Structure 1
Amino acid sequence: MASAAACHHALAQGYNGRTGLPNKVGNFSLNTVSRVFNIEVRPLTREKHYPRNLRLCVVHASSSHSSVAEPMQIPSNDNSTDSHKKSTEASLILIRHGESLWNEKNLFTGCVDVPLTEKGVQEAIEAGKRISNIPIDMIYTSSLIRAQMTAMLAMSQHRRRKVPIIMHNESEKANKWSQIFSEETKKQSIPVITAWQLNERMYGELQGLNKQETADRFGKEKVHEWRRSYDIPPPNGESLEMCAERAVAYFTEQIEPQLLAGKHVMIAAHGNSLRSIIMYLDKLTSQEVISLELSTGIPMLYILKNGKFIRRGSPIAPSEAGVYAYTRRLALYRQKLDEMLN
């Protein structure tokens, strides 16, 4: 079987001028490669919102595992015909962290950094089981430990068995020290990027207070207004609108370009930062978003296709084949995992 190095070498040269595809991969024709790896080889042209690179599904070989199809960049070809056009497709998984210690105590948590409870750990593990057959190339979390714990625990259940590694970009030295120089290690790991912009809404003077006691102190209607209005912040805190400004800006500037490039992304964050992102994805009004409730530890799947986000709901269980067959690519990815692990 052709090695990954041979495939990559051949893809770097020898493109067919009409189709934009390589004539051969190593010593094998495209037809042979398609048959051996059981993949469909077809040129993809860029849409107006997409990068100036085409994408092709190729196989990365591993000495210890069977191969799983993953995306790879190939040069664009402006001579490609309309009949060969095909859009990039990517998966987006959103997970609200599992139950935290202050969730359990019914306290306003906000940006206070508290860990998961035992129940929260189990919720994160169960979330990981639900997404265990969905491809993930990058992980984004908030800077808070409960979101990071949820991401790590969820990935421990993924059938691909890649290792999540937190990227340190807080300084030039930290960035240098955290670099991974082994190409084999890079193939078997997933970068985790932390961002304060994905943090929970800052509850100001309410943080650390019991929710029932707060209602008794300030009045039930006033606390309800702070919690459920869109643009009214609690004392010295953030409104949902203020939280949305930073969370959505980070999503559109940092995360969405990765999805448009064909990367499969998971975001582990918080109720209000995720509500803000869902407001953007589903084009909800300020009135619609305030009634949106997200349960702890329940993942939600979106598919980005033709520049549009399609909400698919929450996967049920890894044994439910139908739930992953939302698209042909997800179904094929699951099939490859089955072949690799059986």
Structure 2
Amino acid sequence: MSDLELAGVRKTFHTKGRPEVEAVRGFDLTVGGGELVGLLGPSGCGKSTTLRMIAGLEEVTGGDIRVGGRSLVGLPPQRRNVGVAFENYALYPPLTVAENLAFGLAARGIGRAERKARVADVAERIGITSILRQRPAGLSSGQKQRVALARAVVRAPDVLLLDEPLSHLDAAQRDVTRRELRRLQRELGYTTILVTHDQEEALSLADRVVVMNDGVVCQVGTPDEIYDDPASLFVARFVGEPAMNLLPGVADGEGGVRLSDAITVPAGVAAASGREVLLGVRPEDLAIAETGEVTAVAVVYEDLREYGLVTAELDGVGEKLVVQTEPGLPVRPGDRLPLVVGRSRLFDGETGERLR
């Protein structure tokens, strides 16, 4: 197991006749041996570009990438011992599954007997032994994804890179494959980078999550830290489904936020009086009670069987919010709902930074 370190990594794209684009700006991260780190963010945030720089498929504009203390900058992909499973599978159609797995090993000069042994071992671990003689055209999406993963693993890489590995799978396949992927990564102990825009995928698979936006690292933390303690408005809005409720108000200087002239709720943080802020409350941190700190008027109720979601409008404020409830709750549009505000977070109204 090797450590992976990115120190001040930058990537700037230059296109003739167009302004330069800073795709990645000062990326700093250390991934421990055997750790799985998820790069999470919207399309175009720089996460795939970062992965491609680690793999050697994109040149680094600045900074350094080290594996086990050895710099990879300037080395061609074949000398980096990095395994990559791409979003589009990238399998060779004329070759069987077994031949696809062995192709890279043969190119590295590994003998036939060892190639056969490695392919058999990885195929058994990933559960594709029964399809080794088939060709990619006859495989399902789930099978192709397993083959792509097996091809990345069979070379026994120092670092394993997964680029949106579950994006082409349907919901049922995605759930099963996600659990298998986590089991396999822990069993093999590879230092792994997972690139995804799917927050459920990142939060369920990763030991730590790196949230990126516009080429910048917004926050690094465990899944619990990212979800429970977002460092900025962007992270608060991006992570969570449904998203965190963000209510504009003014700090009263005593640990409360005035949402209107008549409504003040506790925030737990004593921001300067008169400061414009946003009060962030997760839907599960709001509870319907007999009496509440605020009242909301129900707009729509969704029964999702495991739980319910009420979209409501805050009475006297006009802001909409979402409340998570028990399933099967008899809520109708127009019902007035007293709400108790549980845990909240406070963000600066101008900078979006978390106030603590």
Q: Which TM-score applies when normalising by structure 1?
A: 0.28
Task: Name the one with the larger strand percent.
Answer: 2
Q: Which TM-score applies when normalising by structure 2?
A: 0.27
Task: Name the one with the larger helix percent.
Answer: 1
Specify the structure having the higher radius of gyration (Cα): 2
